[in-house]
Every structure is written in structure tokens, then in C-alpha cells.
Amino acid sequence: MAAISNAVSEGRLAAIIGDFARRLTAGVPATRGLPYLGLESASGSGTHLLDELSARGIFRKYELVLDVGDDLGATGRWLAARLGCTAVVTAAGAEGIAAGRALTRRSRLSSQVRHVQTEAVALPFKYASFTHAWIVETLPRLQDARTALAELRRVVRPGGYLAVQDLVHRPDAAAPELPGWRFTTGVARQESLRSAGFVDVVARDVDDASERSAMVAAARTELHAQLAAGTEPALAAAVAERGALAAMLADGRLHVVQLFARRP
């Protein structure tokens, strides 16, 4: 799901998440598609939302999905394990790519999930390479979201689907401030998709984005307590970022919107 703060050692965080999830699932297997219990997510929005995001489109093993800006590769692994398709995960940083690749290898999904280091505004893929594109809570982290969306239109085949899950603020309120994040409104995101050339744009406001799985919620609380008790500054920054996002979702400064569109 969303990218980790630039201040964070993604490799270190990925290793902690991997070991933590393995311990928790030693006796009770993790839900299919969530080998790391969704702990990679910065915001902690409900893991069930991915099922709702996959409502549009057809996902079979010969479908190829581009998952943009997903440093640790959580969404790509979910797509492969849950729906059976193949995913290409992109991230800008070498450390994020290495960390995501390690988690994918550890979950035995390397044959279905490929990690590619690239900026979202200059994707190294041919025209119409993908049947679907997903962007899950990463648009606010991109330097130039509009250009990235135009690139997605180029690499998605005609008739292919774009699915976006975003953290947005209310139109009547100022955008919350968080280093490295640029929040906007759901209406602005819809317009961005249309401006990039996508059609049939549909938005769905998520009334309750909180995690429904008691196991996942408890694991997240325990992980963050463990991280907060540590002494590594980078991990402390990750806890602060995650806590800020959770607080913004809880008090209504941010909410989750899902957007669906088609490449004409």
C-alpha cells in the first residue's frame, strides 16, 4: 500500500515486519493475500478495502497489473495471491525495491510479482503493456501525480482499468500537513483522472476505512508498540508518520476514496 517515509530504512522495517508476521502466523495462518497481515501499509486502512477495489476488472492468471509506487509490494502480493494474476510493482528508491523484493521472495510469490525501480512519471514500459493499473494510497507521495497518471494511460491497454485508493481531505477544509505527502480532495482526483485521458470515472467514498480483522488490528498495535520502544531514529520516524495518518483518518481530516476509470 502507501510508501514509507524517506527517513525510514525500508530494508530494516521490512525485515521487522517479516519476522513479526512469521511469529504471529506460526500457529494461525495469515489470510490469503496477506502474508504479512497488511502491516506494510502506512495508514492502516482496512485490508478488506482491496476486495472492494477489485470489483471492477477481470483478474485471471494471464492478467498483468501495474502496481505503482508500492515500495514494500503489499498490494502486488495481494493481487497475485488473492486473485491469481501477475503484478509488476514499481518504486522510486533502490532500498524500497530491495525490501519489497525480499518480502515477495520470502512469501514465495516471486514468480508472480516483479519489482521494478522507476519513477512513476517515466515508466520503462511499452505502450499498452498492462491490463490493469492500481495506485493504492501512493498518489499523495508522488512529486507529479498528473504526469504519473498520464504515464499510466500510456501503458494500460485500451479498455483496461485503473483503480485508485486515495487518502483525501474534505473540500471545505485545508489539506492536512505531513512531510512528504500532498493531500488533495476526491473531486480534484477525479478531475486528474479525466485530464489524463481516462473515461467512465467513478468515485466511491468509504464510510468506514477501519480494519475489520481483529487479528490484523491487534498485530498492527503490537508492531507499532515494538517499533516505538526501539531506539532507531528511522523507525521512530515511521511510527510517527503512521500514527499521524491514523489520527487524521480517525478524526476526519482525511478519508478514503476509491476511484475507478477505464482507458478508452
Query: Domains of the chain, with CATH numbers?
Result: 10-262 (3.40.50.150)
pLDDT of amino acid 164: 98
27 strand-pairing partners: none
pLDDT of amino acid 231: 67
In whole angstroms, what is the distance from residue 105 CA to residue 80 CA?
Answer: 13
pTM above 0.85, yes or no: yes
Secondary structure (3-state) at 129: coil
pLDDT of amino acid 233: 74
Stated as kind and residue range, the H or E segment containing 227 is: helix 214-229
Handedness of CA 167, 168, 170, 176 (dihedral sign): positive
pLDDT of amino acid 227: 85
Note whether 50 and 83 are within 8 A (CB).
no
pLDDT of amino acid 205: 96
- Residue of 190, 205, 253 whose CA lies nearest to 43: 253
Letter for the amino acid at 102?
A
Q: Which long-range contacts (CB under 8 A, 24 or more apart) does 218-222 make?
A: 219/20, 219/21, 219/24, 219/37, 219/39, 220/37, 220/38, 220/39, 220/44, 222/20
Per-residue pLDDT of the chain (264 residues; tens, 9 = 90+): 444 444 357 888 899 999 999 999 988 888 889 999 999 999 999 999 999 999 888 887 779 999 999 989 999 999 999 999 999 999 999 988 999 999 999 999 999 999 999 999 999 999 999 999 999 999 999 989 999 999 999 999 999 999 999 999 999 999 999 999 999 999 999 999 999 999 999 999 999 999 999 999 999 999 988 888 876 777 777 888 999 999 999 999 999 999 999 999
Note whether 93 and 10 are within 8 A (CB).
yes
Q: Which residues, in sequence order, are CB contacts of 186 under 8 Å at separation 6+? A: 166, 168, 203, 205, 257, 259
pLDDT of amino acid 216: 94
Handedness of CA 42, 47, 49, 50 (dihedral sign): positive
Helices 145-155 + 186-195 axis angle, to 10: 50
Secondary structure (3-state) at 199: strand
